[in-house]
C-alpha cells in the first residue's frame, strides 16, 4: 500500500463543474508535488510545494489551482476544465525539495483518474 | 532541458528469463531512481541510487549508477508474471529549478508464462 493517499480514485466532471482532488501523507515529508500523466507517457510535473509554499509552477493553466493547507495535505482545485485535461493526476511527496540538496526519492500515490466530459 | 533516453521501449519475454533495461542522458544527474507502474496505479519506487558507480539490489532487481553519472541500468533476474508493468527511470538533480525528476519514456515489460 502506498503511503501517499489520494481521493477520489475516479472522477468524472463536466466542463462547467468545480471539483477538488485531495492528497495526504503522514511521513513527515515537507515537499509535495502534483503530476499529470497521459496514457503510455511518463508523469509530467505540474506544481511543487516546499514547506507549504508553492515553489514551482510548470506553466500550468489557471483552471488548475493548487493549495497546501498544511504539511500533510495537498489539494488541486479544478474549474472549467477541457476534455484534453482528462488524465491520471498523481500526487507525490519527498522528505524535502531538492532545491538545495538531496531531498530523497519521490513517493507517489495511486492517482485520481479524471475524465472531463 | 535535460532528457533521458530509455530503452528498450517494450520487451516480450518468457517467464524465468532475465531482463535488462537502461537509461542514458547527455548530462549528469545526482540521483537515479527506478520506478514500476502497474495499470491504474501510481509509480512505485524500486531502487534509488545516489553515488556514481553504486550497485544496489532489491530482491531480484539490481540497478547501477553509471560511473559517468550519465546512465543507469536495471536488471531483473528470473522474471515472473507479476513483473509485468511499465518501468520508468528518473534522474534528479539538486539546486534551483532543476531540483525535480526527469523521467524516461518507460519500458513496457510483458512476461509470457
pLDDT in the model for residue B35? 97
The answer to whether the Cβ–Cβ distance between A103 and B94 falls below 8 Å is: yes
* Cross-chain CB nearest to A107 (options B45, B94, B103): B45
pLDDT tens-digit profile of A36-55?
999 999 999 999 999 999 98
C-alpha cell at B18: 532475465
The answer to whether the Cβ–Cβ distance between A42 and B88 falls below 8 Å is: yes
pLDDT tens-digit profile of A60-96?
999 999 999 999 999 999 999 999 999 999 999 999 8
Structural contact between residues A6 and A21, judged by C-beta atoms closer than 8 angstroms = yes
The answer to whether residue A97 neighbours chain B at the CB level (below 8 Å) is yes
Residues 6+ apart with CB under 8 A from B47: B33, B34, B56, B57, B58, B61, B63, B74
pLDDT in the model for residue A100? 65
Q: Is the pLDDT of residue B13 over 70?
A: yes
The answer to whether the Cβ–Cβ distance between A103 and B106 falls below 8 Å is: no
The answer to whether the Cβ–Cβ distance between A45 and B100 falls below 8 Å is: yes
Structural contact between residues B101 and B91, judged by C-beta atoms closer than 8 angstroms = yes
Percentage of chain B modeled with pLDDT above 70: 95
Q: Average per-residue pLDDT in chain B?
A: 93
Q: How many CA atoms lie within 13 A of B41 on its CB side?
A: 16
Mean pLDDT across the stretch B86-112? 86
Percentage of chain B modeled with pLDDT above 90: 83
Per-residue pLDDT band for B98 (boundaries 50, 70, 90) equals: very low
Nearest C-alpha neighbor of A32 from the set A1, A85, A76: A76
Q: How many CB atoms lie within 10 A of CB B69?
A: 18
Q: Average per-residue pLDDT in chain A?
A: 93
The answer to whether the Cβ–Cβ distance between A110 and B42 falls below 8 Å is: yes
Chain B neighbors of A4, CB-CB under 8 A: 42
pLDDT tens-digit profile of B29-82?
999 999 999 998 999 999 999 999 999 999 999 999 999 999 999 999 999 999
The answer to whether residue B40 neighbours chain A at the CB level (below 8 Å) is yes
Chain B 43-62, residues with CB within 8 Å of chain A CB atoms: 43-45, 48, 50
Amino acid at each position: 500500500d502506498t503511503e501517499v493517499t489520494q481521493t477520489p480514485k475516479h472522477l468524472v466532471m463536466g466542463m462547467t463543474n468545480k471539483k477538488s482532488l485531495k492528497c495526504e501523507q503522514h511521513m513527515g515529508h515537507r515537499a509535495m508535488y502534483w503530476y499529470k500523466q497521459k496514457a503510455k507517457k511518463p508523469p509530467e510535473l505540474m506544481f511543487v510545494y516546499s514547506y507549504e509554499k508553492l515553489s514551482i509552477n510548470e506553466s500550468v493553466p489557471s483552471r488548475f489551482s493548487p493549495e497546501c493547507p498544511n504539511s500533510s495535505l495537498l489539494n488541486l482545485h479544478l474549474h472549467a476544465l477541457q476534455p484534453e485535461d482528462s488524465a491520471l493526476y498523481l500526487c507525490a511527496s519527498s522528505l524535502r525539495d531538492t532545491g538545495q540538496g538531496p531531498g530523497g526519492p519521490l513517493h507517489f500515490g495511486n492517482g485520481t483518474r479524471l475524465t472531463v466530459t | 532541458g535535460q532528457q533521458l533516453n530509455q530503452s528498450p521501449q517494450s520487451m516480450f519475454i518468457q517467464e524465468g528469463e532475465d531482463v535488462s533495461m537502461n537509461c542514458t542522458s547527455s548530462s549528469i544527474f545526482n540521483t537515479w531512481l527506478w520506478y514500476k507502474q502497474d495499470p491504474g496505479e501510481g509509480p512505485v519506487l524500486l531502487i534509488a541510487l545516489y553515488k556514481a558507480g553504486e550497485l544496489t539490489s532489491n530482491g531480484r532487481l539490481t540497478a547501477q549508477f553509471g560511473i559517468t553519472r550519465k546512465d543507469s541500468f536495471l536488471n531483473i533476474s528470473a522474471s515472473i508474471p507479476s513483473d509485468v508493468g511499465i518501468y520508468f527511470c528518473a534522474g534528479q538533480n539538486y539546486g534551483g529549478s532543476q531540483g525535480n525528476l526527469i523521467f524516461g519514456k518507460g519500458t513496457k515489460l510483458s512476461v509470457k508464462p
